[in-house]
Amino acid sequence: MYSANEKRYDTMKYNRCGLSGLKLPAISLGLWHNFGDTGVYSNMEEMCFTAFDNGITHFDLANNYGPKYGSAEINFGKLIKEHFMPYRDELIISTKAGYDMWPGPYGNWGSRKYLIASLDQSLKRMGLDYVDIFYHHRMDPETPLEETMGALAQIVASGKALYVGLSNYDGETLEKATAILGRLNVPFIINQNRYSILDRTIERNGLKQAASKLGKGIICFSPLAQGLLSGKYLNGIPEDSRVRTDGRFLNESRLDDETMKKVKGLDEIAKKRNQPLPEMALAWLLRQEEVTSVLIGASKPSQILANIKALDNTEFSEEELDEINRLSLA
C-alpha cells in the first residue's frame, strides 16, 4: 500500500483559482497521454506517486482520454481504489465532456443529455461520487449556451461536481457564459486552454484578458507546445519521439525551418538563464499572475521532477521577455 511523503506540501506553490476559495498547485498533472490502454500500469503508479509526493494534488482527465476512450479514467479509478482513497480529500480531480465519446447524436458537443450522461459514466469509471471540477470541453456552435450552462448548474446542484470550468472557449463566449452561470449561482472558477510561448491564442482571442477581468483562473495545457519546446528536436527527430510513434498531435510538418529557428533561439535564451528549454518554457507561464496552474504531461516520473524544477526560477528580465516575444511572435 502506497504511503505518501509526509513532506509533500513543503515545497509546492499553491495559487488561488481566480476569486474562488480553491487553490491549485502551480503544476498539475494531466492524464491525456500515457494513462490509457497503451500505457504500463506500474509506470502510471510511479508517476502519480511522484506527483503527489511532491505536492501535485490536481489530476486532470476527460471522458475521451486514452486510448481507447474512457481508459484513462478506468486506470485512474484503479489507482484511486488501490492507493489514493485515503487521500481523496487532499486531491483535486477534474474531468470533461465536449468531444466525441460514443456513437450517435448524443455523444458529443454540449447538450444537457450528453453532459449529464457523460459525467455519470466518468464517475462510474473512476469509482467516485463526485469530481472536484467538471469542464465543458469546447464551445458548441449549435446548442444554446443557456442549455449547456444549465446542465453545468444541474450537475453542481446534484452534488456530482463541486466546481465547474470551461475549456477551449474564447473571451467573448466566456463573458456570455459567466453572466449565465452567475445568474444560476454556479461556482464557475477556471478556464483550461492551450497556452505556451509558441501558442498565444488566448492572448489574441481575448480569453486571457476576460478571465482576468472576471476573476476566473486559467490552467494551461500543452505548455511545451506538444513537445516543440521539450528540447527533443533541437538536433533532429529521435526515433522514439512522439513525431515518429504518434503523429496525431505533433507531426514532422510542424518542425519546419522557421519554427525550428524560433525553438533554437529560445534554447539560447534558456542556456543563458542556466535552464533547460522546457524548464524555461514552464517558468515563462508560471511567472504570469493570470495563470493559476500549468498542466504537464509525462511519460515517466523523472519528467515530473524535471518540470517541478521550473518553480525554482520564474524571474525574467525585461530584456529576456522582449527577446522571447521577438522570437516567438515573429
| DSSP track, 189-235 | EEEEEE-BTTB-HHHHSSHHHHHHHHT-EEEEE-TTGGGTTSSTTTT
> For the chain, which residues make up each domain, given as ranges?
14-227+277-312
- pLDDT tens-digit map of 71-122: 999 999 999 999 999 999 999 999 999 999 999 999 999 999 999 999 999 9
pTM tops 0.85: yes
Listed residue (80, 178, 70, 165) closest to 129, CA to CA: 80
Cα–Cα distance, 177 to 158 (Å, whole number): 20
Are residues 218 and 191 in contact, defined by beta-carbon separation less than 8 angstroms? yes
In the block, which residue shows the cell 510561448? 197
- Residue 95 C-alpha from the chain's centroid: 10
Please, are residues 136 and 87 in contact by the beta-carbon 8 Å criterion?
A: no
How far CA 197 is from CA of 151, 231, 327, 329, in Å, comes to 34, 14, 10, 9
- Answer for the pair 198, 228: CB distance below 8 angstroms, yes or no: yes
Give the rounded percent of residues in the chain with a pLDDT score beyond 90: 89
% the chain with pLDDT above 70:
94
pLDDT single digits (tens) 148-196: 999 999 999 999 999 999 999 999 999 999 999 999 999 999 999 999 9
Map residue 215 onto helix, strand or coil.
coil
Q: What local confidence, expressed as pLDDT, does residue 255 receive? A: 67
Whole-number Å distance between alpha carbons of 303 and 300: 6
For residue 84 the three cell numbers come to 489514493
Degrees to nearest 5, angle at CA 131 with 126 and 134: 115
CATH class in words for 14-227+277-312: alpha beta
Q: What's the confidence (pLDDT) of residue 244?
A: 43
The backbone torsions φ and ψ at residue 234, rounded to the nearest 5 degrees and listed phi first, read -65, -30
Beta pairing class for 131-136 and 188-194: unpaired
Mean pLDDT of the chain: 94
Q: CB under 8 Å to 8, separation ≥6 — which residues?
A: 52, 53, 54, 55
**Sorting pLDDT into bands at 50, 70 and 90, what band is 258?**
confident
